[in-house]
Amino acid sequence: MNQRPTQLTRVILLGPEDVAQEAAHRIVKIAEEVLGRGQDFRLVLSGGTTPKHLYEILGSRPFCSRLPWHRVHFFWADERCVRPDHPGSNYRMAYEAFLKNLSIPDANIHRMRGEDPDPHAAAREYEEIIRAHYGLEWGDSPPSFDLVLLGIGPDGHTASLFPETPALYESDRWVVAQFVPQLKSWRLTLTPLILNRARQVLFLVTGAAKAKTLAEVLEGPYRPYQLPAQLIRPVQGQLLWLIDQDAASCLQNSSSE
Ligand code: 6PG
- The best mutation among 53, 80, 92, 157 to test binding of ligand 1, ranked by most ligand atoms within 8 Å of the C-beta, falls on 157
Helix (H) / strand (E) element for 75: namely: strand 72-76
In angstroms, rounded to a whole number, what is the distance separating the alpha carbons of residues 108 and 69?
Answer: 9
Atom of ligand 1 nearest to the CA of 207: 17
User: 55 - beta bridge partners?
Assistant: none
- Residue 161, phi then psi, degrees to nearest 5: -95, 90
- The best mutation among 55, 158, 203, 244 to test binding of ligand 1, ranked by most ligand atoms within 8 Å of the C-beta, falls on 158
CA-nearest residue, atom 13 of ligand 1: 48
Q: What is the pLDDT of residue 7?
A: 73
Q: What is the pLDDT of residue 186?
A: 98
Q: What is the pLDDT of residue 242?
A: 98
Can you give the chain as a three-state secondary structure string? CCCCCCEEEEEEECCHHHHHHHHHHHHHHHHHHHHHCCCCEEEEECCCCHHHHHHHHHCCCCHHHCCCHHHEEEEECEEECCCCCCCCCHHHHHHHHCHHHCCCCHHHECCCCCCCCCHHHHHHHHHHHHHHHCCCCCCCCCCCCCEEEECCCCCCCECCECCCCHHHHCCCCCEEEEEECCCCEEEEEECHHHHCCCCEEEEEECCHHHHHHHHHHHHCCCCCCCCHHHHCCCCCCEEEEEEECCCCCCCCCCCCC
Amino acid at 135: G
- Other Cβ atoms within 10 Å of 106 Cβ, number: 5
- The best mutation among 78, 190, 205 to test binding of ligand 1, ranked by most ligand atoms within 8 Å of the C-beta, falls on 78
- 88 CB within 6 A, ligand 1: no
In angstroms, rounded to a whole number, what is the distance separating the alpha carbons of residues 94 and 59?
Answer: 10
- 46 CB within 6 A, ligand 1: yes
Q: What is the pLDDT of residue 237?
A: 86
Q: Which residues contact 38 (CB under 8 A, 6 or more apart)?
A: none
Q: What is the pLDDT of residue 253?
A: 78
- 189 CB within 6 A, ligand 1: no
- Per-residue pLDDT 10s for the chain (257 aa) are 445 456 789 999 999 999 999 999 999 999 999 999 999 999 999 999 999 999 999 999 999 999 999 999 999 999 999 999 999 999 999 999 999 999 899 999 999 999 999 999 999 999 999 999 999 999 999 999 999 999 999 999 999 999 999 999 999 999 999 999 999 999 999 999 999 999 999 999 999 999 999 999 999 999 999 999 999 999 988 999 999 999 999 999 776 76
Q: What is the pLDDT of residue 1?
A: 44
